[in-house]
Amino acid sequence: MEPNVENKGKIKENIEISKGIYLLTLQVPPAFPLPIPGQFIHVKVGEPPQFLLRRPFSIFDYSSEKGELRIIYEVVGKGTLALSKKKEGEELDFLGPLGNGFRFGDEKVVMLVGGGMGIAPLHLAGKVAHEKGKIVVSVLGFRSKERSIMVEKFRSFSRNLIVYTEDGSIGERGIATDFFQEKRKVEELVGEILGVNSRKRLIEEGCLGFITVFSCGPRKMLESITRICEKWNLPCQISLEQFMGCGVGLCMGCVVRTKGGYKRVCTEGPVFEGGFIEW
């Protein structure tokens, strides 16, 4: 097992922010390592034999000053239901931070593309990108206004924020990848951000080369954004959501097929280059 991943934290808050969706804040130990955006924690939600396996949750936010870590989760089964019933002051046993996160380079613009609960790892990525002086563009997709969580949190660090809902109840009607159906629209947005105001200069100066895309959401959405980025020659990193057993690479229960063979999402991932995955 990796050093310093066994931890216990005290619950400061565990509140329902939308129907069936919760925000949990943990007070973590002083020695807790600084998490990389895209990493996760593996939480013990209860005792065996009812709960044999831990549950993985992306790190939504982290404050080293306060020693606080936040996750958001949706109640979808017995494990998350048990977690939702935990109260302020209770102790939570978890492993983390685990996995490989998002990698920053010399890009000027970080474009976050999130679908539903997939926004979770992107929030910390956007926050850190902003702190690094990068321009953040967030494209978020939800089923409806009622399911559109944490939008204002993303607005706080985003130069541009575009929201889609499937029913059109907030933002534009559609899904997050709809924003990328027109290359010209994306080029013009990036040109506006970078101060390039003619299409000829957009093409000559290769404005799309200043972008890196970070994405998380449903698998179909991740495949779609990967294909678009490959066509436009854009770097694209995706965070996979996968069932996990041990969370530390021993059980091989979370493998995915890649161009480099089968890889463990918990250790080689959850963040991969989009083009590396065999969709």
pLDDT-derived band at 59, boundaries 50, 70, 90 = very high
What does the alpha-carbon distance between residue 264 and residue 251 come to, in Å, rounded to a whole number?
9
Q: Over the stretch 12-30, which tens digit does the pLDDT of each residue have?
A: 999 999 999 999 999 999 9
Residue 119 falls within a domain, yes or no?
A: no
Q: Over the stretch 89-106, which tens digit does the pLDDT of each residue have?
A: 999 999 999 999 999 999
The region of weakest confidence among 35-44, 55-64, 189-198 is: 189-198
Residue 36 falls within a domain, yes or no?
A: yes
Residue 127 falls within a domain, yes or no?
A: no
Residue 218 falls within a domain, yes or no?
A: no
10 Å CB burial of residue 274 (0-12, 13-18, 19+) is: buried
Q: Is the pLDDT confidence value at 1 over 70?
A: no
User: Which pLDDT score, from 0 to 100, does residue 191 have?
Assistant: 84
Per the structure, the count of domains in the chain is 1
User: Which pLDDT score, from 0 to 100, does residue 199 have?
Assistant: 64
The region of weakest confidence among 34-38, 113-117, 231-235 is: 231-235
User: Which pLDDT score, from 0 to 100, does residue 5 have?
Assistant: 86
Residue 115 falls within a domain, yes or no?
A: no
Q: Give the residue from 170, 171, 168, 210 showing the smallest Cα distance to 187.
A: 210
Mean pLDDT computed over 165-178 = 96
10 Å CB burial of residue 245 (0-12, 13-18, 19+) is: middle
pTM of the model: 0.94
Q: Over the stretch 235-266, which tens digit does the pLDDT of each residue have?
A: 999 999 998 999 999 999 999 999 999 999 99
What does the alpha-carbon distance between residue 59 and residue 73 come to, in Å, rounded to a whole number?
10
Residue 251 falls within a domain, yes or no?
A: no
Q: Is the pLDDT confidence value at 74 over 90?
A: yes
Q: Give the residue from 66, 64, 132 showing the smallest Cα distance to 102.
A: 132
User: Which pLDDT score, from 0 to 100, does residue 4 have?
Assistant: 57
What does the alpha-carbon distance between residue 17 and residue 117 come to, in Å, rounded to a whole number?
13
Helix (H) / strand (E) element for 126: namely helix 120-131
Mean pLDDT computed over 186-191 = 84
Mean pLDDT computed over 111-126 = 98
Residue 40 falls within a domain, yes or no?
A: yes
User: Which pLDDT score, from 0 to 100, does residue 198 have?
Assistant: 67
10 Å CB burial of residue 133 (0-12, 13-18, 19+) is: exposed
Residue 16 falls within a domain, yes or no?
A: yes
Domain CATH for 93? 2.40.30.10
Q: Is the pLDDT confidence value at 118 over 90?
A: yes
| Share of residues in the chain with pLDDT > 70 (%) | 96
User: Which pLDDT score, from 0 to 100, does residue 106 have?
Assistant: 93
**CA distance readout (Å), 246 to 250, 252, 267:** 7, 8, 11
User: Which pLDDT score, from 0 to 100, does residue 212 have?
Assistant: 96
10 Å CB burial of residue 224 (0-12, 13-18, 19+) is: buried
Q: What is the 3-state secondary structure (H, E, C) of 204-256?
A: HCCHHHHEEEEEECCHHHHHHHHHHHHHHCCCEEEECCCCCCCCCCCCCCCEE
CB-CB contact of 5 with 98 (8 Å): yes
Q: Is the pLDDT confidence value at 64 over 70?
A: yes
Provide the domain limits for residue 35.
6-98
Task: Give the Cβ contact number of residue 105 at 10 Å.
Answer: 8
